[in-house]
Amino acid sequence: MSIVWESRYALRMNGITSSTIRELLKLTQRPEVISFAGGLPAAEYFPVERFQAACQRVLAQSAHQALQYSTTEGYLPLREFIAQRLCERQFCVDADNVLITSGSQQALSLIGALLINPGDRVLVEEPTYLGALQAWALYQASYVGVPTDGDGICTDQLAEALRHGPKFMYILPNFQNPAGVTISAERRRELVRIAHEHGVPIVEDDPYGALRFEGEDLDPLVVADAEYLGLGSSMYSGNVINLGTFSKTLAPGLRIAWIVAPKDVIARLVQLKQGADLHTSTFTQMVIYEVAKDGFIDQHIEHLRTVYRKRRDAMLAALDRFMPPGVQWTHPDGGLFLWMQLPEGLSDRAVFEAAVKRDVAFVPGGAFFPRPDAPPTARLNFSCMDEERIVEGIRRLADVITEMQNTVQPVPSK
Ligand SMILES: Cc1ncc(COP(=O)(O)O)c(C=O)c1O
């Protein structure tokens, strides 16, 4: 007997397709490819020695605890550490508001399980994080997209979008993945005001906020919300669920992130997480805590900011130098990505395929839109290639675009 598994898959699998990013990354893993495709932090700056020492310390001092099952909520000293850092910098919560997750990707998946019924709408920025769209495909979400510009989500279009009755808004406030844009302070205030007017909660996903190279840190939506309510900026009102991760500031391979939410919401998420994986690895939570504590994480972030800033500058300078007219790009003040608008008439897929033949890769922007008719765009990651390769990669990409512009008959705009 040979089982036809496909005939047995659950209906929810119908909406699930392979991640474009993962499929594309497979094509670009040859060492000769200059890849701007992944969202990878620079591996050469992982604090390997500090991790080695932390692993040894955890095993020498607390092996029985580290190797044992533990609570679903997460390792208490780590939850306290996260809560304390938030209190010092942004808004006040205690450890009971914090749930440790296996990456923010799991946080998104748990939030989907908690909030989304089949057909429920989620309001997202256009473009938005592809991983959220993937996570919520399982729950058969549909989307209301709101365009973004250089100041982030266009809040003047929010009220109209909210008429479609989304269950919640999913917002990336800082150096957004994929567009690299940051929501201005004024728009943050406007966003929470409109959210209150319509009684819609916000899920604020902020993996990149710590990686600012330029300008002032802006208050998260959690704080804008408290201010709107006149609670004092450090109070947590519970209207915004806030997500954070160590993936971009320490190392993504550890898969340690967190959700901040009201305690009753945390309790329900804990029930879901029990069904998903019982708890996030005890050992890695303890190691992350050992690595991050005593001010190390801040020193390390400072270092990353310097390195990533240089790489961003190299990419911006190369774009200025090589790109033909008709190509535009964002100027991110932090994070890992910038976003390129390709000349009208070119397809981002076709540019991608031609670029890979020249050993340079990016992610075609269409993947980040919750609709099929997206404009031709590209996400470029600047964090994981050195400056020399960045310049060479942009030069090759510019050549590809220039050649395609010269050969492809542009589709006349309507
Ligand atoms: C906006 C956003 N949310 C969530 C994630 C997932 O992060 P993690 O590695 O913590 O799962 C990413 C990763 O790139 C991201 O860009």
CATH of region 48-294: 3.40.640.10
Residue 129 CA: which ligand 1 atom is closest? 1
When pLDDT is cut at 50, 70 and 90, the band that residue 410 belongs to is low
Quick one: which H or E segment has residue 146? strand 142-149
Q: What is the pLDDT of residues 163-206, one digit of tens each?
A: 999 999 999 999 999 999 999 999 999 999 999 999 999 999 99
Average pLDDT over residues 372-393: 95
Q: What is the pLDDT of residues 303-344, one digit of tens each?
A: 999 999 999 999 999 999 999 999 999 999 999 999 999 998
Residue 256 CA: which ligand 1 atom is closest? 10
Read off the pTM.
0.95
**9-18, 326-335, 343-352: least confidently modelled range:** 9-18
- 409: burial class by Cβ within 10 Å (0-12, 13-18, 19+)? exposed
Q: Which residue, among 224, 221, 249, 233, has the nearest Cα to 334 in the 3D structure?
A: 249
Structure tokens at 227: 């201010």
Query: DSSP label at 164?
Result: T
Strands annotated E in 252-336: 257-260, 328-329
CA of 140 to the centre of ligand 1 (A): 20
Domains 16-45+298-407 and 48-294 share a fold: no
CA of 188 to the centre of ligand 1 (A): 21
Angle at 380 between CA 150 and CA 191, to 5 degrees: 30
| Alpha helices (runs of H) in 147-281, residue ranges in sequence order | 158-162, 185-198, 221-228, 263-277
When pLDDT is cut at 50, 70 and 90, the band that residue 414 belongs to is very low
- The residue whose C-alpha atom lies closest to atom 7 belonging to ligand 1 is 104
CB of residue 176 inside a 6 A radius of ligand 1: no
Task: Tell me which of 99, 104, 171 to substitute to probe ligand 1's pocket, judged by most ligand atoms within 8 Å of the beta carbon.
Answer: 104
CB of residue 244 inside a 6 A radius of ligand 1: no
When pLDDT is cut at 50, 70 and 90, the band that residue 17 belongs to is confident
Q: What is the pLDDT of residues 24-33, one digit of tens each?
A: 667 777 889 9
CB of residue 245 inside a 6 A radius of ligand 1: yes
Average pLDDT over residues 2-21: 84
CATH of region 16-45+298-407: 3.90.1150.10
The torsion region of residue 119 among left (phi > 0), alpha (psi -120 to 50) and beta comes to left
84 backbone dihedrals φ, ψ, rounded to 5°:
-65, -40
Task: Enumerate the domain spans of the chain.
Answer: 16-45+298-407, 48-294
CA of 294 to the centre of ligand 1 (A): 25
CB of residue 105 inside a 6 A radius of ligand 1: yes
Residue 206 CA: which ligand 1 atom is closest? 1
